[in-house]
Chains A and B, each alone.
Chain A
Amino acid sequence: MKNSNVLRVESLCKYFGGVRALDGLDLHVSHGEVLGVVGPNGAGKTALINTVTGFYRATSGHIALNGEEITSFPMHRIGRLGVGRTFQNIRLFKRMSVLENVLVAQKGNATHLLRSLFRSGSNKAEQQDAMNLLELLQLSGKANNLASSLSYGDARRLEIARALAGRPRLLLLDEPAAGMNESETEQLITDIQQIRQQVDAILLVEHDMNLIRKLSDRLVAMDYGKKIAEGTPGEVLSHPEVLKAYLGSDE
């Protein structure tokens, strides 16, 4: 049972002084599935991603990746074990080109630093891999452009491409559709459905209900750092607790 879960989170707590960003959260993501995570602002969704990736050190609880306990591992170790993520407020490497942003995330160069000194910048296979990823996200035409020059939608897609460049097993997407218009969101749904084959599992945090419904196999709703509902998108989005949590938000 445990090993079919790409990610398992148990009683996870993250406290900042008096603020309980995560307060005893349990969830799991099975192999091959897309788990959607919804909740009002401040529910702890980004805190969840930050804690799983090691950005925050958990106050208590357990995080396991493919059965292996990663709770207090440093960020780069978790990254190398196969976790990729995007950021809610876009954090691209602005001074590098689109292509370079993807290249830098490739595992070989991150892990074998001194060897990477002696490779010429145009290693064919690596470039090809990177370009394939960029094609997947409709960015191949902009490969040599500076990341800072990208439009909002393109920048969000580059974040995803970069997260995939390390060939992660688990992909954590933090509001990838934020700020996108309808057609961009539709394209994103198609893109993510394609990306599914590249990774073992996806955890998708989103506010856009359309996207969540179409992509998620299962849904978890959070509020105040805890899980308040779990099930199919239909079940969760009509659950009374969830509706109560969202009352007052403008969804």
Chain B
Amino acid sequence: MKLRVVRARAERFGGIVEVERPRALLHVDRAMMRELGHPESPLWREDAGTDAPLSAPTEVHIVLSRRCAAGCSGCYVDATPHGTALSLDEACRILDELAAMGVFHVALGGGEALELSYLFDVAAHARSVGMTPNLTTSGLGLTAADAERCRVFGQINVSVDGVGEAYRRARGFDGFARAERALRLLRAVKQEVGVNCVVSRTSFGNLSAVARFVRDLRLNELELLRFKPVGRGANLDEELTPEQARRIYPLARWLMLRHRIRVKLDCSFAPMVFWHRPSARAAAFWGVHGCVAGDVLAAVAPEGHLMGCSFAGATTIDARVPSAVRAAWPSAFASFRDFVRTAPEPCAGCEYLRLCRGGCRAVAEAHGSFSDPDPGCPRVQEWCARNGARTSVRANRSSFSLPVVRG
């Protein structure tokens, strides 16, 4: 067996190589880069152990539009039927720039990306410049012809926040049958099809049914995404309770073993995972991190702004302007990148700080301060309970009156 390297780029520690089968990104040291025949990089003259960010993100989420007819009650981009969208030309220009920087993957989403007539042209362009396009969709309007064209994507995940009636309760409309049909159409043409499930206070109790659904349709992954109180979600009282936050990691493990499916938790769940004290060495090797916005990850808004991630860190940098992202990247996102160095307690004293990075910045920002520890972290909650620290939480989120630490 030989792992075929399809793309590689140098980093201070060595480099990142993309292999095709199994599809993976591998961080390797300088010696391995040399063994693989990569030319010497100026980056290798710098300190390999530095905490400096990557030379470019490995993945970028392009929010193609705020356009979607579904009207989900918790939509984080506040999408509407006539929302803003990047044009095909703008999207292609952004892709050109990202490819030149060495970005490996782009995640296309919205809004509902399938509502854009040029979605497949955008995906084809990403392929043509060497990046893997991936897609998140509600699947609501997907036709058999669309499914066939979806071969151009790497991974496609369809949003299913509950099975049957639970879908309606979670999203505010009855779309489960259409989402299931989309999944069946997609699975008929490709293997890399999975489910995204937003884990909210309401949907938490129905995760087993979603996992069974993923198994029954022979999908390749279930990705559990933490509910974040941004966009229209800011008006909902759906953040996990402290008890649910403690249970999510054991539950994900149980779902994986019970249904024999691949289960992933998004980066914002990192504090809930590290509270269970997993092996830090294993976590580092498998790339288990908290907030990697402005480092591993970046996002582009439909208005063209570069962001740390799709939920937070909007900048004034216009990604549609040639070379703007490349020029800004080394010094942008200081507020994300400095968190580990400047973290307040209890993050400062946490052995997992360099991995967890203080949890989700978007959630912290939604609760009052971007630079606070994540208020959903069980460790933060325990620390605050011991120290009597507490902060006011907006009235409409009174049932999530968790204490937040001020640095």
Chain A bound to chain B = no
Q: Which residues of B are in contact with A by a Cβ distance under 8 Å?
A: none
Chain A residues with CB under 8 Å of chain B are none
